[in-house]
RNA sequence: GCCCGCGUGGUGGAAUGGUAGACACAGGGGACUUAAAAUCCCCAGCCUUCGGGCGUGCCGGUUCGAGUCCGGCCGCGGGUACCA
């Protein structure tokens, strides 16, 4: 019997698909369309087992939909701009462009043998001038529509390298290369007005029925709509009032001090002529810009000496402190602090000896606050102490609304709705990104480049031997003529955030080489993405930016109304993890080893080369630096693509992280070989047998279960059913015809996961054409129903026995049978049952 | 810190509020073989006086019935606006 030889068979079918143009997406008005998209990869140079999992999931859906008669679009491209290319250039002296395009070629060569049903004719990279030129054109459209503006924003500044650092380049508050203490510094930057869409982006989440609930929740929290009160504190020195925003105006009688951000105009004014303030603010600006770093930093405060009057009592004066935990970006950059009901304020008050004033207690426990702020849910009733708006026992929500009404009636405050979502800062002081198509002219200001001059191409002759943005130093590129007045001017040297590139690539795939960003007939036909698949790490930023961008594109006329939400359904898959193998060097520092360097024995792990014992750290996210990576290319070379595909789809539920184990891949290979042997054996079988009906019933149940599994992204359960059906088929004594039919159905059901093996079996059993194009089998509902059902019989919720009864047996008969069982008799021990619950077709529970 | 998830045998995991552990890996036993590999068959949560008892991270609650729903902890992961 011929052994299944993946290395020969897989390329054969890949050629067959290619020659037939099986996966080229064609607009076909006669068919419904289906657009499957996996988040496109960053071209790091090697495909990763996580990519294999992601793209195989999409492929299963794409192949299934093709078999269901859809006209399928399943494209692939490259998220090709970004920092790693520049880092590589700095490290090895090459050019980011060469590095990137070489990586793309390498990765494509690794992806092709996987047999994914991708339409490679639509491939592009975001670093292609053809792509980013269209992006620049849309940027200009957005400028005209008032969706773009400039303002100051803080960046991580490395004072030694004199350059801006990304958050990941700041390690423990220090620059990754220079080791210098990083400072927060302001720069003028370009912004998209995503905040204009806060309410719309929030409300539209409700319509995204096929998105995971957790993603919608995360986005809603990120947008962060809150209702609160805005009012001014009068200064005793006659200066302009300090405007604050608070979501807890009801706690105003617990006010202890007013806090302002170190970036607040008052703080900045004081910084000018007070060296103490300047020193304090300098201290506050140390460290990176991330919310995490700012929130977890030690609380620092400085009493400005300024005093303000409490709005409810002019005699009551509050001090104004500069506090490092107050963000200038949120609200007004100033707050009043109520330490009794906010942990951060309490920590601050305790540190600086400021008063802590209780304003409400728990209903049953009137205990003053000591070291833990009392912060009950806003929906819980609390007991107020002399509330100014006449409250007694009310919830926080009611109190906030009552307070806002009170303040508005007396005219000292206004109820406002505030969003946490900030405008999207898209400027990057880096080379390897899409140039912002703007020219700065002394006479005309910031002017858009003329569209006929697009794309504004990145110059190739740059070097990375000095820190900073090479575009700043490239004088011939930088100096140009003003598009408006023709006078001498300078190009913008900031490039765009790479999130811009990935915010519209899905639309570009509908016609990737058009000389406009999109083409109406193509977006009308192909959009929206019917199924988008990617990592949960993109739950907020990428997906929110894309939702905004689609709206902006609609406003600029590049997408139809229906595409304002571009992704109809979203699935977020888990990561692939692997154990880390490490030993220690003489100084105790960890030394990492690749899995293939390690031998696993019963007594523990050892290095193959030296027999040195190895520490095993289980289940960590794969990362090159820790060497816990598995190269899919090795698996494919050893077992074939189908084995790799089958393994990544089996066992683990797709949304969960999966641990890669070599034994799992081995087992997958064995199973596929077994299916092939079975197919060959069945092809040679002739004559009648017994139990055809049993086999065919099982077949229909399998069709039903596998189909439901694919539809519901429960690929692991589909695969479990296919394992079970293999066992059934192998043991079946049914006749040749029934077995052949069952085997062909199995090939079809396996084809989304293991398409090459499926084609080979299909052909071997005389199936017509390509299995990839054969219509998906339908389960016969009549074959799915059973006449009898086995019910568990419980006593007090504990299983004591079981009965097998006709499916439609009346409740009282079931009850009688259940009570008569030995298990129930024993458990009841002669006592009468109190109650019997019969759930038809499910269970009987006797309450004793 | 804050937001969002996840936690089930030795392992990956299955289970519309209704028989916890399907399916598989590793393991044990057997068949075939001179032997091995490959393959095939069987066993298997833990404890047990063989009646049963205990079991889905921990503590509590709702329910006739909780892995599943609710509250509180613990641990791990993702995000935290310049990694992509």
Residue A372, pLDDT > 50, answer: yes
| Closest to A251 (Cα-Cα) out of A377, A400, A395 | A400
Please state, as a whole number, how many other Cβ atoms lie within 10 Å of the Cβ of residue A508.
Answer: 24
Q: Which two tokens stand for residue A543?
A: 């997906």
Residue A579, pLDDT > 80, answer: no
Give this complex's ipTM. Answer: 0.95
Q: Tell if A312 CB is < 7 Å from nucleic strand B.
A: no
Q: Tell if A845 CB is < 7 Å from nucleic strand B.
A: yes
Give the H/E segment covering residue A478.
Answer: helix A475-478
Q: Tell if A444 CB is < 7 Å from nucleic strand B.
A: no
Q: Considering chain A, what percentage of its residues have pLDDT values greater than 90?
A: 71
pLDDT digits (tens, 9 = 90+) for A378-397: 877 888 887 888 888 888 88
Residue A786, pLDDT > 90, answer: no
| Closest to A842 (Cα-Cα) out of A814, A819, A823 | A814
pLDDT digits (tens, 9 = 90+) for A124-166: 999 999 999 999 999 999 999 999 999 999 999 999 999 999 9
- C1’ B15 / CA A603, Å: 35
**Across A830-835, average pLDDT:** 86
As a whole number of angstroms, the distance between CA A211 and CA A221 comes to 16
- C1’ B84 / CA A83, Å: 9
Q: What is the band of A368 on the pLDDT scale with cuts at 50, 70, 90? A: confident
Poorest-pLDDT segment among A34-48, A99-113, A337-351, A754-768: A337-351
Q: Tell if A378 CB is < 7 Å from nucleic strand B.
A: no
Answer yes or no: are the C-beta atoms of A17 and A770 closer than 8 Å.
yes
Residue A583, pLDDT > 90, answer: no
pLDDT digits (tens, 9 = 90+) for A473-498: 999 999 999 999 999 999 999 999 99
pLDDT value at position A599? 67
Beta bridge partners of A38: A533
pLDDT digits (tens, 9 = 90+) for A242-280: 999 999 999 999 999 999 999 899 999 999 989 999 999
Q: Tell if A611 CB is < 7 Å from nucleic strand B.
A: no
Answer yes or no: are the C-beta atoms of A144 and A164 closer than 8 Å.
no
Q: Tell if A90 CB is < 7 Å from nucleic strand B.
A: no
Q: List protein-proximal bases of chain B (any atom < 7 A from a CB).
A: 1-6, 11-16, 18-20, 22-26, 38-41, 51-53, 64-66, 77-84
**Across A787-810, average pLDDT:** 88
- On the 0-12 / 13-18 / 19+ scale of CB atoms within 10 A, A584 is exposed
Answer yes or no: are the C-beta atoms of A411 and A418 closer than 8 Å.
no
Q: Tell if A826 CB is < 7 Å from nucleic strand B.
A: yes
As a whole number of angstroms, the distance between CA A620 and CA A578 comes to 6
pLDDT digits (tens, 9 = 90+) for A446-467: 999 999 999 999 999 999 988 8
Q: Tell if A664 CB is < 7 Å from nucleic strand B.
A: yes
Which nucleotide shows the minimum CA-to-C1' distance to residue A671? B24
**Across A750-759, average pLDDT:** 97
Please state, as a whole number, how many other Cβ atoms lie within 10 Å of the Cβ of residue A346.
Answer: 24
Distance of CA A314 to the CA centre of its chain: 51
Contacts of A53 (CB under 8 A, 6+ apart): A573, A576, A648, A649, A654, A658
Q: Considering chain A, what percentage of its residues have pLDDT values greater than 70?
A: 95
Which nucleotide shows the minimum CA-to-C1' distance to residue A154? B82
Q: Tell if A717 CB is < 7 Å from nucleic strand B.
A: yes
Global pTM value: 0.93
- C1’ B27 / CA A724, Å: 21
pLDDT value at position A1? 47
**Across A643-647, average pLDDT:** 93
**Across A505-531, average pLDDT:** 97
Distance of CA A386 to the CA centre of its chain: 47
C1' of nucleotide B24: residue with nearest CA = A651
Poorest-pLDDT segment among A68-77, A654-663, A750-759, A770-779: A654-663
Which nucleotide shows the minimum CA-to-C1' distance to residue A164? B82
Q: What is the band of A23 on the pLDDT scale with cuts at 50, 70, 90? A: very high
Answer yes or no: are the C-beta atoms of A628 and A579 closer than 8 Å.
yes
Helix (H, G, I), strand (E, B) or coil at A254: helix
Q: Which two tokens stand for residue A602?
A: 């019963």
Dihedral in degrees, nearest 10, Cα atoms A630, A636, A639, A641: 120
The beta strands (E) that lie in A683-813 are given as 788-795, 798-806
**Across A588-615, average pLDDT:** 67
Q: Tell if A623 CB is < 7 Å from nucleic strand B.
A: no
| Closest to A299 (Cα-Cα) out of A251, A354, A219 | A354
What does the DSSP 8-state code read for residue A450? P
Contacts of A178 (CB under 8 A, 6+ apart): A158, A160, A161
As a whole number of angstroms, the distance between CA A5 and CA A427 comes to 52
Answer yes or no: are the C-beta atoms of A502 and A424 closer than 8 Å.
no
Residue A755, pLDDT > 90, answer: yes
As a whole number of angstroms, the distance between CA A706 and CA A721 comes to 7
Query: Is the omega angle on the peptide bond into residue A455 within 30 degrees of 0, that is, cis?
Result: yes
**Across A520-528, average pLDDT:** 97
**Across A332-338, average pLDDT:** 92
- C1’ B58 / CA A668, Å: 37
Q: What is the band of A364 on the pLDDT scale with cuts at 50, 70, 90? A: confident
Which residues numbered 322-361 in chain A sit less than 7 A from strand B, measured from CB? 343-344
User: Over chain A, what is the mean pLDDT?
Assistant: 91
pLDDT digits (tens, 9 = 90+) for A602-632: 555 677 777 777 766 655 666 666 666 777 8
pLDDT value at position A618? 57
Full 3-state SS string of A342-402: CHHHHHHHHHHCCCCCCCEEECCECCCCCCCCCCCCCCCEEEECCCCCCCCEEEHHHHHHH
Helix (H, G, I), strand (E, B) or coil at A68: coil
Dihedral in degrees, nearest 10, Cα atoms A367, A368, A369, A374: 50
The label of the residue with tokens 């600029």 reads A556
The label of the residue with tokens 């060296």 reads A275
């Amino acid at each position: 019997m011929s052994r299944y030889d993946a290395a020969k068979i897989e390329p054969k079918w890949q050629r067959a698909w290619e020659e037939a143009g099986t996966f080229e997406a064609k607009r076909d008005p006669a068919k419904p369309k289906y657009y499957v998209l996996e988040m496109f990869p960053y071209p790091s140079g090697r495909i990763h087992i996580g990519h294999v999992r992601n793209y195989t999931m999409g492929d299963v859906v794409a192949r299934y939909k093709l078999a269901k008669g859809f006209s399928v679009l399943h494209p692939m491209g490259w998220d090709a701009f970004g920092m790693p290319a520049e880092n590589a250039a700095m490290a090895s002296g090459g050019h980011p462009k060469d590095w990137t395009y070489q990586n793309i070629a390498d990765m494509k060569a690794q992806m092709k043998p996987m047999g994914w049903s991708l339409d490679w004719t639509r491939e592009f990279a975001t670093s292609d001038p053809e792509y980013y030129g269209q992006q620049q054109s849309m940027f200009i459209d957005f400028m005209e529509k008032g969706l773009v503006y400039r303002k100051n924003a803080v960046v991580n500044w490395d004072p030694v390298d004199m350059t801006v650092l990304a958050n990941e380049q700041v390690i423990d508050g220090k620059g990754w290369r220079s080791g210098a203490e990083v400072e927060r510094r302001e720069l003028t930057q370009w912004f998209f007005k995503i905040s204009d869409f806060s309410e719309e982006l929030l409300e539209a989440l409700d319509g995204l029925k096929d998105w995971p609930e957790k993603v919608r929740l995360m986005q809603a929290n990120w947008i962060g709509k809150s209702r609160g009160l805005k009012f001014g504190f009068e200064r005793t020195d006659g200066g302009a009032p300090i405007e604050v925003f608070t979501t807890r105006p009801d706690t105003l009688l617990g006010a202890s001090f007013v806090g302002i951000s170190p970036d607040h105009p008052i703080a900045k004014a004081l910084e000018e002529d007070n060296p103490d303030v300047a020193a304090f603010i300098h201290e506050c600006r140390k460290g990176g810009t991330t919310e995490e770093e700012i929130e977890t930093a030690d609380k620092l405060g400085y009493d400005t000496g300024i005093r303000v009057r409490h709005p409810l009592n002019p005699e009551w004066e509050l001090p104004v402190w500069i506090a490092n935990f107050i963000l200038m970006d949120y609200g007004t950059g100033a707050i009043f602090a109520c330490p009794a009901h906010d942990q951060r304020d309490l920590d601050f008050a305790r540190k600086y000896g400021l008063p802590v004033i209780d304003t409400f207690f728990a209903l049953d426990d009137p205990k003053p606050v000591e070291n833990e702020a009392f912060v009950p849910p806003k929906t819980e009733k609390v007991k107020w102490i002399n509330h100014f708006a006449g409250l007694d026992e009310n919830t926080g929500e009611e109190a906030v609304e009552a307070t806002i009404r009170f303040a508005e009636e007396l005219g000292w405050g206004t109820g406002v709705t505030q969003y946490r979502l900030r405008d999207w800062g898209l400027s990057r002081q880096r080379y390897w990104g899409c140039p912002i198509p703007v020219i700065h002219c002394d006479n005309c200001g910031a002017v858009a480049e003329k569209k006929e001059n697009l794309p504004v191409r990145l110059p190739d002759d740059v070097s990375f031997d000095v820190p900073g943005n090479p575009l700043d130093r490239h004088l011939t590129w930088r100096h140009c003529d003003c598009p408006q007045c023709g006078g001498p001017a300078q190009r913008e040297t900031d490039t765009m955030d790479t999130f811009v590139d990935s915010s519209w690539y899905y639309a570009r795939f509908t016609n990737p080489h058009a000389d406009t960003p999109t083409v109406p007939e193509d977006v009308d036909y192909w959009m929206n993405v019917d199924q988008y698949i990617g990592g949960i790490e993109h739950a907020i930023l990428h997906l929110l930016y894309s939702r905004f961008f689609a709206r902006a594109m609609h406003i600029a006329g590049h997408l139809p109304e229906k595409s304002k939400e571009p992704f109809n359904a979203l699935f977020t898959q888990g990561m692939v993890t692997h154990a880390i193998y490490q030993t220690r060097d003489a100084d105790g520092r960890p030394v990492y080893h690749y899995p293939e360097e390690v031998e696993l024995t019963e007594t523990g792990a050892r290095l193959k080369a030296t027999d040195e014992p190895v520490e095993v750290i289980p289940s960590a996210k794969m990362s090159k630096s820790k060497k816990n990576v598995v190269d899919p290319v090795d698996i494919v070379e050893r077992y074939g693509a189908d084995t790799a595909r089958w393994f990544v789809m089996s066992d683990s539920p797709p949304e969960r992280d999966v641990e890669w184990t070599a034994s799992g891949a081995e087992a997958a290979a064995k199973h596929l070989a077994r299916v092939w042997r079975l197919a060959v054996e069945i092809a040679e079988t002739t004559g009648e047998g017994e139990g055809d009906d049993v086999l065919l019933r099982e077949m229909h149940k399998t069709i039903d279960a596998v189909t439901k599994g694919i539809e519901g992204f429960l690929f692991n359960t589909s695969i479990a059913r296919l394992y079970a059906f293999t066992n059934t088929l192998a043991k079946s004594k049914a006749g040749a015809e029934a077995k052949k039919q069952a085997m062909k159905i199995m090939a079809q059901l396996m084809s989304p996961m293991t398409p090459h093996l499926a084609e080979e079996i299909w052909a071997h059993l005389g199936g017509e054409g390509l299995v990839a194009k054969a219509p998906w089998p339908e389960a016969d509902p009549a074959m799915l129903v059973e006449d009898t059902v086995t019910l568990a019989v419980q006593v007090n919720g504990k299983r004591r026995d079981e009965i097998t009864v006709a499916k439609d047996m009346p409740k009282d008969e079931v009850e009688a049978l259940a009570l008569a069982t030995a298990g129930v008799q024993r458990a009841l021990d002669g006592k009468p049952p109190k109650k019997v619950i019969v759930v038809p077709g499910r269970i009987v529970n006797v309450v004793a």
